[in-house]
C-alpha cells in the first residue's frame, strides 16, 4: 500500500510539472552570429576528465563545433552520423587537418558519459587520427550558458520529459575561435564542408544560411507526440529517395525501348 501511494504521488507530480509552451518552442533555433569570437577563457572537461581550455585549443586548426547532449534520444545522433558520413568522403582528416568538439548543453552530464559517445563516434568515423582531435566536453551551467549565447544557440529544458529542445547543425570556427559558418540540419554536403574548413583556415567568413527549424525533442508535451519534426523530415527524405529511384528506372527503361540506329 505504501509503495502504491508513493507511486501515485510521484505520478501526480509529473502530471503537474509544466512543459514548454508553443511560444517557448518557437524560440528554439540558431541566431547566426558570423564573425562572433568564442571566449578563449572558457574551461570545460574533456572525456578523459582533464581540463579543456578553449584558449589553449584555439590558434591551431579550424574546429567543427556541435552543441547537443549525450543522452539525447534522437537528433544528436543523427547530426553526428550525418557529419561523419560527409567527413568520410573527405581527404582532410579530423585530428590532423581540423578538430571537432562535441559539447554537452546538459550540466548534469559527466565525462564518463562523454567517453562512451567518443568511442562510439570514433569507431564509426574509422580514422585513428581523430582520437586526439575529436573532443567530447562537459561543463558547468555558467560556461554552457556563455558559449551557447556566443554561438547563437537557443535551447530550452523541458522538466516534464527531462529532455532538451534545441536546433540541429554544425558551427564552423576559425583557428582563432571565430564563427565562420553554420550548417543546419542533419545531412551535410561533403564538398561544402571541405570548402568551409578551407575558408575557416584562412580566417574567412561564410554567409548566413537559410534557417531550418529542427528540434531535438523526445516527447513534445504540446503535441503529445515523439520526435514529430524529425520523423516528418525522415519521411520526406524517404519519399524523395523513392521518387529519384523511380525516375532513374523510368529513364533507363525509356532509353532501352528506343532501338539503336
Spans of all domains in the chain: 19-226, 227-261
Q: For residues 168 and 171, what is the distance between their CA atoms, to the nearest angstrom? A: 10
Determine the average pLDDT of the residues in 52-80.
Answer: 94
Per-residue pLDDT at 55: 93
Q: For residues 242 and 261, what is the distance between their CA atoms, to the nearest angstrom? A: 33
**More confident of the two residues 251 and 5:** 251
Query: Looking at 46-60, 83-97, 154-168, 229-243, which range is the least confident one?
Result: 229-243
**More confident of the two residues 259 and 164:** 164
**Can you read off the three cell numbers belonging to residue 247?**
525516375
Per-residue pLDDT at 189: 96
* pLDDT tens column, 103-158: 999 999 999 999 999 999 999 999 999 999 999 999 999 999 999 999 999 999 98
Determine the average pLDDT of the residues in 23-31.
Answer: 86
Are 170 and 217 a contacting pair, CB within 8 Å? no
Separation in Å, CA 154 to CA 56, 78, 105: 26, 19, 11
Per-residue pLDDT at 214: 60
pLDDT higher than threshold 90 for residue 74: no
CA dihedral 76, 214, 90, 81 (to 10 degrees): 30
Band (14; pLDDT cuts 50, 70, 90): very low
Determine the average pLDDT of the residues in 164-176.
Answer: 95
pLDDT higher than threshold 80 for residue 69: yes
pLDDT higher than threshold 90 for residue 11: no
Query: Looking at 13-22, 52-61, 199-208, which range is the least confident one?
Result: 13-22
Closest CA to 65 of 147, 155, 125, 149: 147
Are 188 and 170 a contacting pair, CB within 8 Å? yes
Q: What is the pTM of this model?
A: 0.78
* pLDDT tens column, 197-249: 999 999 998 878 765 556 665 444 445 444 444 445 445 555 666 676 767 67
CATH number given to 19-226: 3.40.30.10
Per-residue pLDDT at 181: 96
Per-residue pLDDT at 20: 76
pLDDT higher than threshold 50 for residue 16: no
Q: What percent of the chain has pLDDT over 70?
A: 74
**More confident of the two residues 254 and 220:** 254
Amino acid at each position: 500500500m505504501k509503495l502504491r501511494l508513493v507511486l501515485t504521488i510521484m505520478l501526480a507530480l509529473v502530471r503537474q510539472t509544466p512543459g514548454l509552451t508553443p511560444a517557448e518552442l518557437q524560440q528554439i533555433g540558431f541566431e547566426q552570429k558570423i564573425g562572433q569570437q568564442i571566449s578563449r577563457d572558457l574551461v570545460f572537461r574533456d572525456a578523459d576528465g582533464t581540463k579543456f581550455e578553449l584558449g589553449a585549443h584555439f590558434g591551431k586548426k579550424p574546429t567543427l563545433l556541435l552543441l547537443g547532449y549525450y543522452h539525447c534520444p534522437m537528433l544528436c545522433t543523427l547530426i553526428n552520423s550525418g557529419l561523419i558520413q560527409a567527413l568520410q568522403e573527405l581527404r582532410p582528416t579530423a585530428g590532423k587537418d581540423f578538430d571537432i568538439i562535441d559539447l554537452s548543453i546538459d550540466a548534469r552530464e559527466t565525462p564518463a558519459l562523454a567517453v562512451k559517445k567518443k568511442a562510439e563516434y570514433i569507431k564509426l568515423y574509422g580514422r585513428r587520427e581523430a582520437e586526439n582531435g575529436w573532443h567530447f566536453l562537459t561543463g558547468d551551467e555558467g560556461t554552457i550558458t556563455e558559449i551557447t549565447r556566443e554561438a547563437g544557440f537557443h535551447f530550452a529544458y523541458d522538466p516534464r520529459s527531462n529532455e532538451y529542445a534545441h536546433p540541429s547543425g554544425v558551427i564552423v570556427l576559425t583557428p582563432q575561435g571565430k564563427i565562420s559558418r553554420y550548417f543546419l540540419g542533419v545531412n551535410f554536403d561533403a564538398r561544402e564542408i571541405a570548402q568551409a574548413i578551407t575558408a575557416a583556415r584562412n580566417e574567412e567568413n561564410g554567409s548566413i544560411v537559410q534557417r531550418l527549424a529542427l528540434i531535438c525533442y523526445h516527447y513534445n508535451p504540446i503535441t503529445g507526440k515523439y520526435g514529430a519534426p524529425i520523423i516528418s523530415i525522415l519521411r520526406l527524405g524517404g519519399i524523395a529517395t523513392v521518387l529519384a529511384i523511380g525516375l532513374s528506372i523510368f529513364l533507363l527503361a525509356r532509353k532501352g525501348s528506343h532501338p539503336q540506329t
